[in-house]
Amino acid sequence: MVKIKICGLSNPCDIETANVERPDYIGFVFAESRRQVTRAQAVTLRKLLSPDIIPIGIFVNETIPNILSVVCEGIIDVIQLHGLEDEAYIQRLKLLTGKPVIKAIGVKQRGDVQKWSTTTADYLLLDHTSGGTGKTFDWDLVGKVCNPYFLAGGLNSKNVTEAMQKTVPYAVDVSSGVETEGKKDPVKIREFIRRVRNG
């Protein structure tokens, strides 16, 4: 079954919704964003999160020591990279943290995904070339992928079924697609999860 990640949770109400609706993963954004959380906020939110849900930390061109300190505080169990991190960075990060790593890549032409076929990242995350925009990309550009991957970029309850049929991802990743006026919407989260789990 395709896994589900709800990204950009930033307050106790978001966590409460996640605990009720049970996505497989949630995301805390530590990079500059309207959904950004401080480390202190993330500590509080993690304590409220059900232990059955895996928290992912989202970083952009962050220093390895800063990520390591977040991991050591027990805030996140998976690291997601959205910047210009190269393979040497990924290898060192995995060695020092012992945590799974997701590397986000923008998909704008056929072959973009395959360039990362030998990465040591545990997962890829396929997104619009400008991640976090809430825009979809052409799913036909994905092609054959050997790496397990998260599909992101403009997903919502209306298009996620088609997206899964066209790409066969390990997981789907949604943020703005389950928001109303910039805030997580419990009804939209519930409907998105229902659509994914019903195939």
Please give the model's pTM, rounded to 2 decimal places.
Answer: 0.95
* 86 annotated active-site: no
Query: At residue 92, does pLDDT exceed 60?
Result: yes
Average pLDDT over residues 85-94: 97
Place of tokens 């789990």: 197
- DSSP strand E in 46-168: where? 54-59, 78-81, 101-106, 123-127, 149-151
The CATH number covering residue 180 comes to 3.20.20.70
Q: What's residue 199's pLDDT?
A: 75
Catalytic residue among 7, 112, 122, 138: 7
Q: How far apart are CA 64 and CA 44, in angstroms?
A: 23
Report the domain count for the chain. 1
Containing structural domain, residue 111: 3-197
Catalytic residue flag (residue 7): yes
Residue 100 pLDDT greater than 90, yes or no: yes
Are 7 and 26 in contact by the 8 Å Cβ rule? The answer is yes
- The pLDDT tens digits of the residues spanning 107-158 come to 999 999 999 999 999 999 999 875 566 788 899 999 999 899 999 999 999 9
Residues 6+ positions from 115 with CB-CB distance below 8 Å: 105
The pLDDT, as a whole number, for residue 135 is 80
Q: What angle do CA 105, 196, 54 make, to 5 degrees?
A: 65
Q: Strands, E, within the chain: which ranges?
A: 3-7, 25-29, 54-59, 78-81, 101-106, 123-127, 149-151, 171-174, 179-180, 183-184
From the list 52, 72, 122, 127, the catalytic residue is: 127
**Residue 107's closest CA among 89, 119, 125?**
125
Which percentage of the chain shows pLDDT scores above 90?
A: 92
The amino acid that residue 161 corresponds to is: T
